[in-house]
Amino acid sequence: MTDLLSPGSLVTIAGGVLTVVGAVAYGTGNANLSLPTIFYGIPIFLGGLALKSSELPPARRVTPKASLKTQREAATPELGKLLADVTRWRYGQKAHLESSLEALKLWDEDNPPQLEEIEELSLGNSYGLRLRFSCEGVPLERWQERQERLSRFFAKGLDATITPLDGDRLDLTLLPEGVFAKSEHGKTDAQSHG
């Protein structure tokens, strides 16, 4: 359902409707209606198809938007911006956080890492994020080599924890410094809502 509500889909549908209305108006001899609807409908429809071809859907949001609003507003603003950035439709990009991953040297042009989901975490008064990536063409070892840089890349005062998962995937957890992020079983100790 969310694919149907993407901006690219809405523009394509609007262009298609205008084109059909114009074609019907032309067939019934209503020149006043057919000319503007076809004139605008076809370019809008083609523009919508172009958007659809370069569309990147938002990462799956595990935590409902209304949850943790107070903690999110009190936390480091960069984490809120990161959350907002990856939970919206993107166009002309191969993956979410493309420029960030390139700067971190965690990018593979042919097979870039894909952000699958994002979860907001709360532990006491601490707020953080868990990002689940499919590593694709970037090996886990390269992520682990850059763990220290990941800690300071998104915002000051964060600790980045990388947890390997099955199937060439990993969790990147960003929490304030000193907040314990992993249990003995590799699960996040932070209370997650979702």
Q: Which amino acid, 18?
A: L
3-state secondary structure of 31: helix
Tell me the per-residue pLDDT of 165-190, one tens digit each, with 9 for 90 and over: 988 899 999 999 877 654 333 444 44
Q: For residue 3, what pLDDT is reported?
A: 60
3-state secondary structure of 121: strand
C-alpha to C-alpha distance for 95 and 59, rounded to whole angstroms:
10
The two structure tokens encoding residue 65: 């938007």
Q: Do 122 and 193 meet the contact criterion of CB atoms below 8 Å apart? A: yes
Statement: residue 11 has pLDDT above 60: yes
Half-sphere exposure of 71 (CA within 13 A, CB side): 20
Q: How far is CA 135 from the centre of its chain?
A: 15
Q: For residue 2, what pLDDT is reported?
A: 58
Q: Do 101 and 115 meet the contact criterion of CB atoms below 8 Å apart? A: no
Residues whose CB is less than 8 angstroms from the CB of residue 54 and which lie 6 or more positions away in sequence, other chains included: 91, 92, 93
Q: Do 59 and 96 meet the contact criterion of CB atoms below 8 Å apart? A: yes
Tell me the per-residue pLDDT of 78-129, one tens digit each, with 9 for 90 and over: 998 999 999 988 888 888 999 999 999 999 989 999 999 999 998 878 899 9
C-alpha to C-alpha distance for 104 and 139, rounded to whole angstroms:
14
Q: For residue 181, what pLDDT is reported?
A: 53
Q: What phi and psi values does residue 133 have, to the nearest 5 degrees?
A: -110, 145
Tell if the pTM clears 0.85, that is, is over it. Answer: no
DSSP notation for 67-120: TTHHHHHHS-HHHHHHHHHHTS-EES-SSTTHHHHHHTT---SSS--EEEEEEE
C-alpha to C-alpha distance for 124 and 13, rounded to whole angstroms:
46
Q: Where are the domains of the chain?
A: 7-53, 58-192
The two structure tokens encoding residue 43: 């370019």
State mean pLDDT over 45-56.
90
